[in-house]
């Protein structure tokens, strides 16, 4: 195994298993945290950040999925500001029902506000260093990366990891979402970073090789739209099993039939939701992506349990109006 690339002393990076995104803490006069994990582990996220930085002035979200924004509300209550890509920031401010795709994906997110909308090319001081915002839509329309040119550090969010690329939602974001995601990966690759800092998995030992592989994977999503739909469905379903510590076998199909994302996937694949649900379960069982244990279906990938009570947060349609700050 190749050694991990060297990071500056002012960078603290923590790899986390699902359902959380990795954590990146940037120390200095403006302590900043990039992404804040899942709501079920918000207290652990905040405690870790404060232990390493003393305080957090700013949380920067690469995008608004539940595994990246779950600690926002708590950190904001503790005094941190939140920054996010402008399309998502504006929707959060309007309290759009579709915020974070939380209800659509059935992934809880506690209510928060965005204090600083981020446009492409904006320079942000994070810690003691200046970082450039790099807009990288595809996985979500507001997805962004962060580029530190002096150290050639590149935060890529879910655009790519050491083992895959981010899934795309062709139903919500349109048939061009995969092409958009491919262009974003190419834009990141063109920066030729020394270190890639992904939201999931380890830091790639060889950035050039990681980008070459990611570009091939992203191209496959463009070339095979049905495959892209299946890929997203598998990822969303596995995540649902993770955050619920599995689902009883007799409840799995009714759970899937009630999901908007499954209905959309079935339409794109020219199936009924019932047929797709059965196929999804069967294919993931046969591949070993899910396992049957103790009368429940579980995700096989490594993940940390979530306390059931932590999931009891309202969907964005029921979030209170943002308080003046």
**Secondary structure (DSSP) of 51-92:** HHHS---EEE-S--SHHHHTTHHHHHHTT-EEEEEHHHHHHH
pLDDT more than 90, % of the chain: 97
- Confidence at residue 4, expressed as pLDDT on a 0 to 100 scale: 74
- Confidence at residue 323, expressed as pLDDT on a 0 to 100 scale: 74
Q: Which residue blocks in the chain are alpha helix, DSSP H?
A: 42-53, 66-69, 72-77, 86-94, 102-105, 170-173, 177-190, 207-223, 225-243, 249-257, 260-268, 273-287
- Confidence at residue 303, expressed as pLDDT on a 0 to 100 scale: 97
Indicate whether 237 pLDDT > 80. Answer: yes
Q: Which residues contact 68 (CB under 8 A, 6 or more apart)?
A: 21, 35, 36, 37, 61, 62, 157, 158, 199
- Confidence at residue 2, expressed as pLDDT on a 0 to 100 scale: 59
Indicate whether 296 pLDDT > 90. Answer: yes
Summary mean pLDDT of the chain: 97
Cα 123-124-130 angle, rounded to 5 deg: 80
Residue 189's CB is within 10 A of a number of other CB atoms, namely: 21
Measured distance CA(302)–CA(242) in Å, rounded:
9
- Confidence at residue 325, expressed as pLDDT on a 0 to 100 scale: 59
**Helices 249-257 and 273-287 meet at what angle, rounded to 10?**
130
**What topology does CATH give the domain 225-311?**
Arc Repressor Mutant, subunit A (1.10.10)
Q: Which residues contact 106 (CB under 8 A, 6 or more apart)?
A: 240, 259
Please report which confidence band the pLDDT of residue 5 belongs to, taking 50, 70 and 90 as the band edges. confident
**What topology does CATH give the domain 11-223?**
Metallo-beta-lactamase; Chain A (3.60.15)
- 156-206 pLDDT, tens digit per residue, is 999 999 999 999 999 999 999 999 999 999 999 999 999 999 999 999 999
- Delimit the domains of the chain by residue range: 11-223, 225-311
- Confidence at residue 37, expressed as pLDDT on a 0 to 100 scale: 98
Indicate whether 48 pLDDT > 60. Answer: yes
Indicate whether 1 pLDDT > 70. Answer: no
């Amino acid at each position: 195994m190749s050694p991990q690339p060297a990071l500056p002393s002012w960078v603290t990076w923590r790899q986390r298993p699902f359902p959380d995104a990795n954590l990146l803490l940037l120390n200095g006069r403006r302590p900043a945290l990039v992404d804040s994990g899942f709501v079920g582990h918000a207290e652990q996220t905040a405690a870790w950040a404060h232990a390493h930085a003393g305080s957090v002035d700013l949380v920067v979200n690469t995008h608004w999925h539940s595994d990246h924004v779950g600690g926002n509300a708590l950190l904001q209550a503790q005094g941190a500001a939140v920054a996010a890509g402008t399309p998502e920031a504006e929707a959060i401010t309007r309290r759009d029902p579709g915020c974070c795709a939380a209800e659509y994906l059935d992934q809880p997110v506690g209510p928060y506000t965005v204090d600083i909308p981020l446009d492409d090319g904006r320079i942000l001081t994070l810690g003691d260093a200046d970082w450039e915002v790099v807009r990288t839509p595809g996985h979500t329309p507001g997805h962004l990366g962060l580029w530190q040119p002096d150290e050639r550090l590149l935060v890529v969010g879910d655009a790519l990891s050491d083992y895959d690329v981010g899934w795309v939602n062709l139903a919500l974001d349109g048939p061009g979402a995969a092409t958009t995601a491919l262009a974003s990966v190419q834009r990141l690759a063109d920066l030729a970073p020394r270190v890639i800092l992904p939201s999931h998995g380890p830091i790639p030992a060889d950035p050039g090789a990681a980008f070459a592989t990611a570009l091939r994977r992203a191209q496959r999503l463009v070339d095979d739209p049905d495959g892209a739909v299946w890929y997203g469905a598998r990822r969303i379903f596995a995540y649902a099993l993770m955050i619920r510590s599995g689902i009883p076998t007799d409840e799995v199909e009714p759970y899937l039939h009630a999901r908007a994302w499954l209905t959309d996937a079935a339409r794109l694949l020219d199936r009924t939701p019932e047929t797709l649900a059965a196929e999804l379960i069967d294919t993931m069982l046969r591949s070993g992506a899910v396992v049957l244990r103790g009368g429940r279906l579980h995700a096989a990938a490594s993940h940390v349990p979530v306390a059931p009570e932590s999931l009891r947060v309202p969907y964005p349609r029921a979030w209170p109006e943002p308080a003046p700050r």
